[in-house]
Structure 1
């Protein structure tokens, strides 16, 4: 986590907590000539544009006070969307029973990408039920081998 994203998360946490929201992710990235500071927020029922606006306004005030970013940037506050990232163990626990997409740092059973129903998470390993043609198979993946995990939209 970069210094900027850490500061932003620290500033945003009391704001989102007060509104009953959670921080899903913070990004600070350069795209073309422009810098973007993105805060992704959510709650069980989903967030609306009004909540994003409130968080954006309050966070912008805090950022102006301490001015941690020396150049111009765009602040964006939004929902993480249907394919939200699963960054923390708590995110994974909440996603049991849902369709997930997982990439690993190294191959497991000869594969590095898995998509299926998240069946279990014990803090050390996850178990995903994947489909191979017409049969189902359980794949166990060590948590520390996960490079990326997110919810996945299923069209089946």
Structure 2
């Protein structure tokens, strides 16, 4: 995954202590205006259980201390600590492998050709991901070319049919 140098520094600093807290650092993004950006940190639990609002609140203090110690941005910024949400970002090969069979939206850094894909993760190796695309041939993309990838939530509002 392509991350800015600053985002990667924050990820590295947080990951150095996250396991001690039973936490997985899902993603870090720096978004918003350059004068007062937002550092967005998404966390999940290492044990595979969904992280609750109480868990996020309990983890915010050490995340804040770690980011402050790094002092990544000169001037004011906002720190936002949250769960990965339904449109969970996928950052590492292990994330892609965990969600094989799930629908995703993926953007690449490729300057030539196609940059955006919507499909289902068919396979994930240590170096690339293969997506099944509806009505198209599968696409295999190197993680080095992935700019952003998020799970695409599927909502099924149809009532279940009762068995007779």
Superposition TM-score tier, normalisation by shorter sequence: 0.7 to 0.9
- Between the aligned partners of 2:123 and 2:70, the Cα distance in structure 1 is 42
- Between the aligned partners of 2:116 and 2:69, the Cα distance in structure 1 is 43
The C-alpha deviation readout for 1:54-83, integer Å capped at 9, x for no partner, is 221122234445644332221111012111
Query: Structure 1 pair 139/75, CA: closer, same or farther in 2 (3 Å)?
Result: same
Gapped regions of structure 1 (runs ≥ 5): none
Gapped regions of structure 2 (runs ≥ 5): 157-164
CA contact (8 A) 1:11 1:59 kept: no
CA contact (8 A) 2:35 2:75 kept: no
CA contact (8 A) 2:121 2:132 kept: yes
Count of residues in correspondence between the two structures: 149
Query: Structure 1 pair 14/118, CA: closer, same or farther in 2 (3 Å)?
Result: same
Greater strand content: 1
The correspondence for 1:114, drawn from 98, 113, 117, is 117
Query: Structure 1 pair 3/47, CA: closer, same or farther in 2 (3 Å)?
Result: same
Whether 2:93 is the aligned partner of 1:84: answer no
The C-alpha deviation readout for 1:99-154, integer Å capped at 9, x for no partner, is 112233243xxx5432222111233442222223xxxx550313144333221112
- Between the aligned partners of 2:29 and 2:138, the Cα distance in structure 1 is 31
CA contact (8 A) 1:125 1:140 kept: no
- Cα RMSD of the aligned pairs, angstroms, is 2.6
Please give the secondary structure, in 2, of the residue aligned with 1:103: strand
Q: Which TM-score applies when normalising by structure 2? A: 0.73
Query: Structure 1 pair 34/118, CA: closer, same or farther in 2 (3 Å)?
Result: same
The correspondence for 2:76, drawn from 72, 77, 80, is 72
Please give the secondary structure, in 1, of the residue aligned with 2:126: coil
Q: Which aligned pairs between 1:91-110 and structure 2 lie closer than 5 A?
A: 91-104=95-108, 105=110, 106-107=112-113
Q: Return the structure number with greater relative CO, CA threshold 8 A, min gap 6.
A: 2
The C-alpha deviation readout for 1:17-45, integer Å capped at 9, x for no partner, is 12322111112333385321211111332
- Between the aligned partners of 1:70 and 1:32, the Cα distance in structure 2 is 10
Q: Which aligned pairs between 1:23-62 and structure 2 lie closer than 5 A?
A: 23-31=25-33, 34-43=36-45, 44-62=48-66
